[in-house]
Structure 1
Amino acid sequence: MSDVTTALLAGAIALALVLHLAWLARASRNRAKAALAAEVASIRTAIADAVDISDGTVGVLTWVGSWNERRVQVRTIVDTLATRKLPARWLSVSVTEPVAVPATFDMMMRPGSPTTFSNFDHLQHTLPKAPGFPAEAVLRTDLRGARFPQNLIASHLDIFAEGRAKELLITPNGVRIVWLLAEAERARYGVFRQAAFGTRLEPALVERLLASASALRDAINRQERQVA
C-alpha cells in the first residue's frame, strides 16, 4: 500500500470518526430535549399553571405554580458531588405557604455526606428526637431552644418508610420534601463518566409529595390555632 493510499485511508477513518461523534452528540441532544419535554408535561399534569423559573444553574430545573390553591415549587437537582458513589437526581417538592413554626426544622435521613440541595450541614443545633422518628433520621434547627410539634410531625412521616425520601424541611415559609428520583446508570457512568438517569418523573409522584407536605403544614397550623 502506497503512502498516498495509507494517508487517504487514515483521513477517511478520521472523518468517519468525527462524523460518528457528531451524530452521537446530536442524538444525545435530541434525547435530552425529548426527556425535558416529557418532564415538563408531567409537571404540568400535576401543576397546570407551572412556570419554569430555572436560573441556568447546571443540573437544576425549577418550576413554580399552584396546586389545590397553594403556592408550590418543584425542582429537580442532579448531584454529582465526588463524595457520592454514583451521581443522583433529586426531586424537591415544596408547599410555599406560611407555617406556624418558630424556626427551621430539618430532618435528614442518613446524613453521611454534603448535599447540593440542602443547608442541613450549616444548621448548628441538633434536636433530640421524639418517639416515632426513623432511626436513621437526624434533626437540626437554626435556633437553639426552639420547640417544634415533634409528635405531630412524626405522625406524618409514612412517606419516609420507603427509603427514597431524603429530607423534610419545615420553615415559617413552607414545607419541603426531597426524594431520590434516580441514581445514574452504573455501566454508562463507569465507562463514559456520563450521568444518565432512566427513571421518568411521574405526575403521581409529584402530587403524592405535594399532598404529604400540604397535609403536614395544615396539621401544624391547625394545632397552633387550637393552642392559641
Structure 2
Amino acid sequence: MSEVTSALFAGAIVLALVLHLAWLARASRNRASAALAIDHAGIRTVIADAADVSDGTAGVVTWEGSWNGRRVQLRTIVDTLATRKLPTRWLSISITEKVAVPGTFDMMMRPGSPTTFSNFDHLDHTLPKAPGFPVESVLRTDRRGARFPQGIIASHIEIFSEGRAKELLITPKGIRIVWLLAEAERARYGVFRQAEFGDATLDPALVERLLMSVSALRDAINISERQAA
C-alpha cells in the first residue's frame, strides 16, 4: 500500500470516527429533549402550574409552581464531580414556605464527598443526634448553640430508611429533600464519557410522595412552635 493510499485510508477512518461521534452527540441531545418533555408532563400531573424556570446551568433543570396551596420547587441535578465513580442524577424537592426553625438544619447521609447541590460542607457546626436519626447521617447547622426540634424531625424521616434519600435541609425559608434518581450507565460513560441515565424519568407518584413528606414535616414543626409559644 502506497503512502498516499495509507494517508487516505487513515483520513477516512478519522472522518468516520468524527461523524460517528457527532451522530452520538446529536442522538444524546434528542434523547435528553424527549426525556425533559416526559419529565415536564409527569410533573404537571402533580403540580398543574409547574413552569420551567431553569437558568441555563449545565445539568440542572428547575420547575416551580404550587401544590396544595404551597409554593414548591423541583430540580433535577446531574452531578459529574470527578470524585464520584459515576455521574449521578439527583431530584431535589422543596416547599418554599416559612418554617419555624432558628437557622439551617442539614442532615446528610454518608457525607463522604462534596456535592454540587448542597452547602453541607460549608456549615461549621456539627449537631449531636437525638435518638431516631439514621446511623449513617450527619447533622450540621450554621449557628452554634441553635436548638432544633429533633424529636419531631426524627419522627418524619422514615423515607430515609430506603437508601435513596440523600439530604434533608430545613431553613426558615423552606424544607428540601434530595433523592437519588439514577447513576449513569457504566458502559457508555466508560467509553464515551457520556452521562446517560437510561429510563430514569420522573415518577409523578415519587414526586407527590416526597412533597407529602416535606409538607408533613413542615406542618409538624410549625404546629409544635405555635403550641410552645
**Partner of 2:51 in structure 1?**
51
Cα distance in 1 for residues equivalent to 2:37 and 2:45? 12
Normalised by the size of structure 1, how large is the TM-score?
0.93
The C-alpha deviation readout for 1:128-154, integer Å capped at 9, x for no partner, is 000000000100110111111101100
Counting only pairs closer than 5 Å after superposition, residues 83-94 of structure 1 correspond to structure 2 as 83-94=83-94
Aligned residue type for 2:208: E
DSSP 3-state at the match of 2:30: helix
CA shift in 2, pair 1:105/1:5, >3 Å: closer
Aligned CA distance change for structure 1 residues 11 and 204 (closer, same or farther; 3 Å) = same
Report the Cα offset of residue 10 of structure 1: 6.1
RMSD: 1.8
Question: Partners in 2 of 1:200 and 1:138 — Cα distance?
Answer: 29
Aligned residue in 1 for 2:176? 176
User: Secondary structure of the residue that 2:94 maps to in structure 1?
Assistant: strand
Pairs aligned (count):
228
1:6 deviates by: 6.9
Distance 1:208 1:20 in 2: 42
Q: Give, as a single letter, the amino acid of the residue that structure 2 aligns with 1:221.
A: N
Kindly provide the CA deviation profile for residues 44-87 of structure 1, in whole angstroms up to 9, marking residues without a partner as x: 12211011111111111111100010000000111111111111
- Matching of residues 59-208 of structure 1 within 5 Å: 59-198=59-198, 199-208=200-209
Q: Between 160-169 and 3-12, report the one with greater CA deviation.
A: 3-12
Provide the C-alpha distance between the structure 1 equivalents of 2:137 and 2:112, rounded to a whole number of angstroms: 11
Amino acid at match of 1:113: S
Paired letter, 1:138: V
Displacement of 1:209 in angstroms is: 0.6
Cα distance in 1 for partners of 2:75, 2:201 equals 14
Change (3 A) 1:144 1:16: closer
Structure 2 residue matching 1:168: 3-state secondary structure: strand
Q: Which runs of 5+ in 2 are unaligned?
A: none
Q: Structure 1: which amino acid aligns with 2:203?
A: E
Distance 1:196 1:222 in 2: 43
Find the aligned partners of 2:26 and 2:152 in 1 and give their Cα distance: 51
1:210 paired residue number: 211
SS in 1 for 2:45: helix
Structure 1, unpaired ranges of 5+:
none
**Residue 33 in 1 paired to residue 20 in 2?**
no
Identity over the aligned pairs, expressed in percent? 82
Structure 1 residues 21 and 5: alpha-carbon distance in aligned structure 2, compared to 1, 3 A threshold: same
| CA distance in structure 1 between the aligned counterparts of 2:168 and 2:43, rounded to whole angstroms | 21
